[in-house]
Structure 1
Amino acid sequence: MTTAFMLAWPYGIPRIMSSYNWPRKLEKQGDRYIDSNSYIGPPHDSGDHILDVKRNPDLSCDSTQWICEHRWHQIYNMVRLRNIAGSEPVANWWEFNNQIAFSRGNKAFIAINNDVKPIDMTNSTGLPAGTYCDIISGGLIDGKCTGKTLTVGNDGKAHIFVDNTWEDPMIAFHIKAKI
């Protein structure tokens, strides 16, 4: 959620970090537990040479060694949203408790839900009329959406629904994700 917000909000220069798997090995010492893997470093061979990242066919990586957050589709799709939104200002701001939604001018829209209830409302999106593919739950591949969709009316408004129980309780759309 925080990475999506950082990439959607027009401030600063975002930095996307990736990491490696750090298995914890807790051992009881007296009345507390100590992680005996307090520093294991990145995946390496016996000569302490860092191992190459093993990529899967979908460009994710072998999560037993590397995590590669920058390759998660939600992250690289949000980087694209930020690039498409460019210098567009924040508009169409909406908030309620731990829920927010806003557009980046008429180029992008995001809704984030960190509350115990779903977002279920109609709001201005700033986007031109049409149907858009959610870049968080999927993406636009060969003109077909692999995720949720959003239909924006001629008035720029759309029914926004974001369930708090979704794995990624947010939706994001940009003009290049128009179906």
Structure 2
Amino acid sequence: LESRGGTEAEFRKMVDRCRAAGVDVYADVVINHMQAQDAGVGFGGTPFGKRNHPGLFGPADFHACGRNGNNWIQNFYDRWELQNCDLLGLPDLATESPSVQEKLAGYITRLAEAGVAGVRMDAAKHVPGDDLAAILRKSHGMRYVMHELLINDERTVRFSEYERTGDVMVFPYSFDLASAIRNEKFGDFFRNLMGYPWSQNAVVFVDNHDLERFRDRSNVLSVGDDGALYRLATVFMLAWPYGYPQIYSGYRFTSYDEGPPLLPSGHTAPALNADASCRAPFTCFHRDPQVKVALAFRNLAAGAFRAVHVGYDRSLVAFARESSDGTVPSWAIFHFGSREAQTRVPEGIPGGRWRDLLSGKTFSLHPGTPLRLPARSAHLFVRAE
């Protein structure tokens, strides 16, 4: 657990402080592969080679698929190649090996013993679902698992192969939401939702460290592209009742392979200044005022997980949240366009006094009441007391 982030003792102290503040920590766990350098020394002082990590893994613990002249994956729609060759030159661990499984399970157990509440299984589609299940069975104490599955269709691997051992990160949600916003086609987004994994198994997000580095920006949204549109998309994700939402706070960068800012020691620089303000180039997006309000809306609407009275017209989207007793305690309306829009309160929304959490204002609203929405804006309404 020694890393660029600090020592194991510092890591455990961080986890303890977070838990004391009511914040769970989950770790990004890489079990599909090891690093791609020919040789080096880790932050903990451990020497390593490309397929040789003394005391941990040797050459027999890695796949050597023998394809493409360099063992790299080239055909991502060939299942065997996907799960046996090297991803971008990163040596592929033989996760079917019992001894490899034991060591990886021990790593997960050690994280749990340090107080880590959950793990994100990096590059999960490159590890057979049965191998992941075996590793998790041999580990102890980990309370939550999510699988990173960077897939936009299920031609090679299926979400269901991984749902039996954890939640799944639904990348198509990100692509489809960005496309709907950019192209003003929310009908496609809502239709595609029907083919996603069950909500209780899904992790959704607008952006993450992979998506923000996609060279094709047509179907992704990042804070570096258009901050206002990205913020509004995040508010929509938090308001719409699907999946377990993930808010991404990263750092601004100018080149594809640029890592985080480093201290002279080579360790990652702090994200906060001495006064707890955000230190550039970190974004601290989780602190954004509108995101915090949207989180409050999601929590207030937690008992009303059914979306009703869904309507959309180009850049406008509206929906209500319905409780199990059929009442509507909250509703939302979004305008993703670049110019002011005029619309009306949708049919089906109960008349009465509604408080918009984003503006803090209270309105008397009934079906048909005119509404003016500035460019790229939203209302998150809850019943006024």
Amino acid at match of 1:120: T
Change (3 A) 1:112 1:49: same
Q: Kindly provide the CA deviation profile for residues 11-65 of structure 1, in whole angstroms up to 9, marking residues without a partner as x.
A: 111111101121x2xxxxxxxxxxxx443311220112122222697x7623x22
Of residues 38, 44, 51, the one that matches 2:269 is 51
The structure whose residues are more often strand, as a share, is: 1
Of residues 105, 109, 117, the one that matches 2:331 is 109
Corresponding residue for residue 297 of structure 2: 81
Contact 1:131 1:151 in 2 (8 A): yes
TM-score, scaled relative to structure 1: 0.67
Give 1:150 shift: 4.5
Cα RMSD of the aligned pairs, angstroms, is 2.9
State the identity as a percent. 20
Change (3 A) 1:159 1:60: farther
Change (3 A) 1:76 1:127: farther
Contact 2:297 2:357 in 1 (8 A): no
Amino acid at match of 1:171: H
TM-score, scaled relative to structure 2: 0.34
Change (3 A) 1:174 1:52: farther
Corresponding residue for residue 122 of structure 1: 345
Contact 1:113 1:119 in 2 (8 A): no
Give 1:108 shift: 2.1
SS of 2:344's equivalent in the other structure is strand
What aligned pairs does 1:1-150 form with structure 2 within 5 A after superposition? 1-22=232-253, 24=254, 37-54=255-272, 61-62=278-279, 64-88=280-304, 89-105=306-322, 106-115=328-337, 116=339, 118-124=341-347, 126=349, 129-135=352-358, 138=359, 145=360, 149-150=361-362
Is residue 163 from structure 1 mapped to residue 385 from structure 2 by the alignment?
Answer: no
Corresponding residue for residue 33 of structure 1: none
Give 1:101 shift: 0.8
Segments of 4+ in structure 1 off by > 3 A?
A: 124-128, 155-159
Q: How many residues align?
A: 147
Contact 1:8 1:78 in 2 (8 A): yes
Change (3 A) 1:49 1:56: closer
Contact 1:109 1:127 in 2 (8 A): no
CA distance in 1, matches of 2:350, 2:329: 6
Q: Kindly provide the CA deviation profile for residues 66-120 of structure 1, in whole angstroms up to 9, marking residues without a partner as x.
A: 1011110111211221111114111232222221111112232211112355032
| Structure ranking higher on relative contact order (CA contacts 8 Å, 6+ apart) | 1
Amino acid at match of 1:46: P
Contact 2:354 2:382 in 1 (8 A): no
Amino acid at match of 2:336: N
Give 1:2 shift: 2.1
